[in-house]
């Protein structure tokens, strides 16, 4: 990589030299131009990452703006459209945007697709990214292009200066464990999401912290990963119970995975909550409809979408918006009690 003077900001020229191309080509890539080969685009984005280039804070957008100073569109980038959680999030984002006179474009961030170029070409007010990996090259392109950005519970630690909105995941995990402990459960299992996801780790860590500091003796916590998937969560539940048949309480780090826990327990002839108590995380509509009703940690999914859009519009509006300090906003979680949790069984199964 070509050297640059100490203390200087990376420039487009440095990116171009590093990528072995021209400044206009680099600029074109960062504007989502279509007349650039995939190979050149990849070289430019690797150079952007290598030199740490980002557009100057506060630089004026080239987008067409209305009299309010905002473009009329924001991009909501999601990894999936399916499921109640995504629907609730989209509803909250859409309502907040509509109240501000802004439209929402839904963009699916599929692996190995060039969705980021479409976003850059739209020159929108900004981007809200939900459950995405900010370490990906695609989001690196958005950072480098100076696109206003707010992340919803990012999978990994965002770059410095990027705003995010999330929920109190650690606190939610702690509440789940304290509820099971209050019912006398000492041998507990956790069906986590992905080990590399920040929000999954936070929920597990909060659960462990409560178990580690309780007065209940001989407390154990076993963890298996269900990948946010019902079938995988069922397999993870079997793994937990094969490893420790005396588990009496299971915390699923998402309601969608709690359905898999129900499946596995039914397959083993175990009753909820008489044999094993189950607690989830999300409070999706499904939590009320399954039998028995699922005790869960509620996260305000609709409010998450609304808060992210509101923060994005605040950060992107006004002459000095780029100079403002980005925020980390965290919404509270709460325990919702239903019929899937009960006292620890009086005798071993």
Could you read off the pLDDT of 298-332 as tens digits, one per residue?
A: 999 999 999 999 999 988 875 445 455 567 899 99
Instruction: List, in order, residues 6 or more apart from 79 with CB less than 8 Å away.
Output: 108, 109, 130, 131, 132
Q: What is the mean pLDDT of residues 108-121?
A: 84
Per the model's pLDDT, the better-predicted residue between 311 and 123 turns out to be 311
- Domain 169-299 CATH assignment equals 1.10.357.10: no
Backbone angles phi, psi at 69, to 5 degrees: 90, 0
Return all residues near 90 (Cβ < 8 A) that are at least 6 apart. 76, 78, 81, 104, 106, 305
Tell me the CATH architecture of domain 73-168+302-331.
3-Layer(aba) Sandwich (3.40)
Residue 69 makes CB contacts below 8 A (sequence gap 6+) with: 317, 318
Q: How is residue 207 written in tokens?
A: 């659960």
CA 193 to chain CA centroid, nearest Å: 12
CA distance 205 to 31: 41
Summary mean pLDDT of the chain: 86
Q: What is the pLDDT of residue 59?
A: 47
- Which range has the top average pLDDT, 1-5, 115-119, 210-214? 210-214
Band (pLDDT 50/70/90 cuts) for residue 1 is: very low
What does the pLDDT read at residue 189?
98
Q: Report pLDDT for 56.
A: 56
Q: What is the pLDDT of residue 88?
A: 95
For the ranges 100-104, 121-125, 133-137, the one whose mean pLDDT is highest: 100-104
pLDDT attached to residue 2: 47
What is the percent of the chain where pLDDT is above 90? Answer: 58
Q: 104 in helix, strand or coil?
A: strand
More confident residue, 334 or 40: 334
Measure the CA–CA gap between 14 and 228, rounded to whole angstroms: 41
pLDDT top residue among 30 and 169: 169
**Ranges of CATH 3.40.50.2300 domains, the chain:** 73-168+302-331, 169-299
Minimum mean pLDDT among 11-20, 66-75, 207-216: which range?
66-75
Report pLDDT for 34.
67
pLDDT at 157: 87
259 has pLDDT over 80: yes
Report yes or no: 16 and 48 within 8 Å, Cβ to Cβ: no
pLDDT at 69: 40
Q: Is the pTM for the entire model greater than 0.75? A: yes
Tokens found for residue 135: 């370490």
Better pLDDT: 173 or 148: 173
Residue 46: per-residue pLDDT: 75
Q: What is the pLDDT of residues 35-80, one digit of tens each?
A: 677 777 777 777 777 776 776 544 444 443 444 444 589 999 998 8
Among the ranges given (80-84, 93-97, 102-106, 340-344), the one the predictor scored with the smallest mean pLDDT: 80-84
99 band by pLDDT with thresholds 50, 70 and 90: very high
Three-state DSSP class for residue 111:
coil
Judged against a pLDDT cut of 50, whether residue 118 lies above it is answered with yes
pLDDT at 142 over 90: no
């Amino acid at each position: 990589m070509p050297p640059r003077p100490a203390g200087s900001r990376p420039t487009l020229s440095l990116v171009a030299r590093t990528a072995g191309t021209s400044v206009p080509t680099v600029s074109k890539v960062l504007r989502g131009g279509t007349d650039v080969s995939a190979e050149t685009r990849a070289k430019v984005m690797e150079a952007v990452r290598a030199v740490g280039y980002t557009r100057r804070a506060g630089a004026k957008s080239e987008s067409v703006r209305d009299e309010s100073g905002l473009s009329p569109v924001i991009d909501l980038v999601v990894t999936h459209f399916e499921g109640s959680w995504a629907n609730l999030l989209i509803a909250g984002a859409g309502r907040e945007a509509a109240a501000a006179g802004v439209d929402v474009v839904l963009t699916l961030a599929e692996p190995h697709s060039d969705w980021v170029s479409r976003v850059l070409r739209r020159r929108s007010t900004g981007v809200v990214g939900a459950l995405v990996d900010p370490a990906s090259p695609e989001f690196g392109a958005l950072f480098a292009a100076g696109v206003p950005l707010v992340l919803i519970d990012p999978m990994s630690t965002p770059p410095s200066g990027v705003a995010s909105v999330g929920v109190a995941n650690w606190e939610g995990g702690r509440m789940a464990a304290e509820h099971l402990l209050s019912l006398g459960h000492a041998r507990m299992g956790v069906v986590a999401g992905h080990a590399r996801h920040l929000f999954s780790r936070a929920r597990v860590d909060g659960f462990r912290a409560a178990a580690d500091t309780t007065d209940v003796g001989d407390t154990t916590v076993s963890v298996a990963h269900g990948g946010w998937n019902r079938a995988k969560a069922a397999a993870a539940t079997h793994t937990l119970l094969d490893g420790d048949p005396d588990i009496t309480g299971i915390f699923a780090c998402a309601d969608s995975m709690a359905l898999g826990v129900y499946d596995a327990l039914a397959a083993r002839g175990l009753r909820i909550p008489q044999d094993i108590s189950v607690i989830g995380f999300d409070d999706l509509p499904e939590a009320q409809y399954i039998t028995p009703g699922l005790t869960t940690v509620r996260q305000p999914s609709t409010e998450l979408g609304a808060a992210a859009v509101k923060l994005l519009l605040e950060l992107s509006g006004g002459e000095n918006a780029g100079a403002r300090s980005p925020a980390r906003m965290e919404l509270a979680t709460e325990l919702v009690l239903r019929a899937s949790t009960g006292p620890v069984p009086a005798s071993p199964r």
